[in-house]
Amino acid sequence: MKKILWLKKPLYANWYITTKCNLRCTHCYLTDYTKETPRNLAFSIVDELQAMGVAGVYLLGGEPLAMSNLDEIVKYISSKKISPSIATNGILATKDRIKLLVTAGCTQYQVSLEGHSPELSDAVRGRDTFEKILNGVDAIKSSGGRVILNLTISKRNYMQIEEMLRMARSVGVDLMRFSAFIPVGTGDLNQALYKLNREIVLHVREVLEKSALSAGLPIDSIFLHKEKHQSHTLGCGAATHSFTINADLSLSPCDIDIERERTKPMSDPREMRDLWMNSAVFKKWRGESSDPLFKEVHQHHCHLAYTNYRQDLFR
């Protein structure tokens, strides 16, 4: 395997600023919903990100909007010339709240649904959440935000892609993203409901390729990425140009597999740079270990999907 290239200074950080959440989605990557970044350390983390030269921070959860001081953190991130984005389930996205966050400097939001109807989406995200999420999308758009609408493709919903695109156009989102179910965390306990196979992937690819020509809406999806990531590239970004800060102050290369692939928690955010450069878990994700599961890391699109499905579904 050719040597994987990685940057000495990461470009992007994913930050699980909290794992506390008002929903319990049945395909969630998490199993622990109790952690939150200590308030007294949040600003120090931002200072260290600036010192490392990070250009963008993606605030994740849990539900970031559940944090009462989120706008203060966003404002501080923006003041350091770092671009913030937020992933939210949309339930707490009121117009007043989003206006505060937009004023603080965050204009980009990812909101997730699991289908074009309450029957499909509520079965995953919880009863009566579908309309509340759409209300959140409207609040973000009407308050000056940009919305990426995300659908996690699984064997439950892969036949409704065209319906989802029609709905996305009708609510005026800026981009439609189709991600893939990966059996991690809570989702690992529900594989029978959601697990993908090669036939599903090929069907989704065919529909998306046709839809992309006439959707009238930008589409982003791993299902469209046919070209194999080569080892001399930066791969998906995990441990090569991006990393993840967890709510307990540990670091992870991958923003999905955070409960298994992580460093020990930091006692001081200034440890971040050394962990990026030298920690064993980051070296493993750069192909610098003897772990057989990482022998071909960054060779098969999403490495986590490759190891969990034991094949490159997206080839």
More confident residue, 232 or 87: 87
Taking only the tens place, the pLDDT of each residue in 225-278 is 655 444 445 678 999 999 999 999 999 999 999 999 999 999 999 999 999 999
Cα dihedral 237, 243, 244, 250 sign: positive
pTM for the whole thing? Answer: 0.93
What local confidence, expressed as pLDDT, does residue 1 receive? 60
d(CA 97, CA 20): 18
User: Mean of the pLDDT values across residues 166-187?
Assistant: 94
> Which of 61, 70, 63 lies closest to 15, judged by CA?
61
Least confident of 73-77, 191-195, 214-218: 214-218
Least confident of 25-29, 45-49, 202-206: 25-29
All structural domains of the chain:
12-309 (3.20.20.70)
Taking only the tens place, the pLDDT of each residue in 99-124 is 999 999 999 999 999 989 999 898 99
What local confidence, expressed as pLDDT, does residue 230 receive? 41
More confident residue, 27 or 81: 81
User: Mean of the pLDDT values across residues 76-96?
Assistant: 98
In this structure, are residues 280 and 292 in contact, taking their beta carbons and an 8 Å threshold? no
Q: What is the mean pLDDT of the chain?
A: 92
User: Mean of the pLDDT values across residues 193-213?
Assistant: 92
In this structure, are residues 234 and 241 in contact, taking their beta carbons and an 8 Å threshold? yes
